Amino acid sequence: MAALLIGLSLVVVTSRSVFRSAIALTAALGVVAGLFALLGADFVAAGQLLIYVGGIMIIMLFAIMFSHRPAVGLDRQTNDQWLWGALFALAVACGLIVQFRAVYRGVFSTTVSMPTTISIGRLLLGDMVVPFEAISLVLLAALVGAVYFGMDYEERL
């Protein structure tokens, strides 16, 4: 899955078509959700799918479709310093690999972790129910404000 994620990420940054980049980004974010699920973080995986793959990518695709650009958009997606960026990314990756090997040597086990959604659900609907509902009211007020400011001036009066 990590190799698939790297391949999809390379397609995102090297593709000349904006639409193909958006589709590859959708697939890459789905693979990230799969990695979270494999690590036992099922709540984060579901959030990744709902928020990023389901929400943000739909917004991005609507923006691409409503823009008056050709469907194949052959704009250049890289700049003149791509080599320096690739070398820097390789150096960071090598440093991270060395650090992870030093820190996590022999730490991993094969035990199965318990689902996290049960404990998060009990926390949100138990001790934290008042702050959870307060946040929902703040988000509702922000949504009403966004609709209000999105209307024409004459419609507001």
Q: 44 with 75: CB under 8 angstroms?
A: no
Q: What is the pLDDT of residues 129-139, one digit of tens each?
A: 898 889 989 98
As a whole-number percent, the residues of the chain with pLDDT over 90 amount to 18
Q: 17 with 7: CB under 8 angstroms?
A: no
106: left (phi over 0), alpha (psi -120 to 50) or beta: left
Token pair, residue 83, equals: 């080599």
> Which amino acid appears at position 139 of this protein?
L
Residue 111 pLDDT grade (very low, low, confident, very high; cuts 50, 70, 90)? low
Q: What is the pLDDT of residues 29-85, one digit of tens each?
A: 999 999 998 888 888 888 899 888 888 778 777 777 776 655 555 555 567 787 888
Q: How confident is the model at residue 127, as a pLDDT?
A: 85
Q: What is the pLDDT of residues 137-149, one digit of tens each?
A: 998 999 888 888 7
Using alpha carbons, select from 7, 54, 63 the residue that is nearest to residue 26: 54
